Amino acid sequence: MRVLGIDPGLAIVGFGLVDFSRGAPVHVRHGVIRTAAGEPLPRRLLTVYEDFTELLEAFKPDALAVEQLFFQKNVNTALPVAHSRGVILMAAQRHGLSVGEYSPQQVKSAVTGYGAADKTQMMEMTRALLKLKAHPKPDDAADALAVAICHCYAGRILP
């Protein structure tokens, strides 16, 4: 099973692609989609949609795993991220993908075994589980790989 994990954002959308076979995730690719800060929101959302669609068509994942938004005090930040996340979910549906949505605590539990793990623990376990020589960069892509790993293990360890 090929899983595309997404760490949603507007300025930066992290993505991480893993293949899951024989009970272990295997790293395929990771990176980010960037949008220009000075562009109007509709143009930035179109960039997210077009670049995300290119990923779907190039790598043909079987499933999409997306981190849920957590409550943010700053509505000016939360709403654009929610718009971007919506574009991603719509594109996934247009491509017939099953979608798993996970809270940050679920991702941390799946990757480290501890729902309140810190960033350092997450980075190290993501690196170790994927047998990478170094921590994946940038952080948004590392987070997306963790979301993909969570989806791989979700049926066994998450409620």
Annotated catalytic residue within 7, 19, 54, 57:
7
Annotated catalytic residue within 50, 57, 140, 143:
140
Burial tier of 121 (Cβ tally within 10 Å: 0-12, 13-18, 19+): middle
Annotated catalytic residue within 67, 101, 118, 124:
67
The reply to whether 62 belongs to the active site is no
The reply to whether 140 belongs to the active site is yes
The reply to whether 50 belongs to the active site is no
Catalytic residue numbers, as ranges: 7, 67, 140
